[in-house]
Amino acid sequence: MDMPAFPFDVVDWSDVEPENHPGETGFATWRVRKFGAIRVRQVEYSPGYRADHWCSKGHVLYVLDGQLDTELKDGRRFSLLPGQSYQVGDDADAHLSSTGIGAKLFIVD
């Protein structure tokens, strides 16, 4: 990741307007800030959420709360709990997110 020059900034995520994104089931609520080409998000998945697409974008993702289940297109599956993260580069491993109980994430991409 190439971090372009941008000024120091403090984010109070409760002040960032939420965006709702429906999944195949459930929904995701995103709070997004952009710093040049870098997108930083706090994302909450509702219980029963399942993404409606395979994602090939690279992310650094950290689980704050709940449980995130991630399936890779090659069939591998991972369950992440609070304090765990995954990192994947652009076009490296297509992935699909879901959760039974809901999840709160911090994502940089």
| Residues 24-75 pLDDT 10s | 999 999 999 999 889 999 999 999 999 999 999 999 999 999 999 999 999 9
The angle at the Cα of 74, spanning 85 to 53, to the nearest 5 degrees, equals: 70
Q: pTM of the prediction? A: 0.92
What's the N-to-C CA distance of the chain in angstroms?
A: 8
Q: Write down the domain spans for the chain.
A: 19-108
Q: Which residues pair with residue 63 across a beta bridge?
A: 105
CATH of the domain spanning 19-108: 2.60.120.10
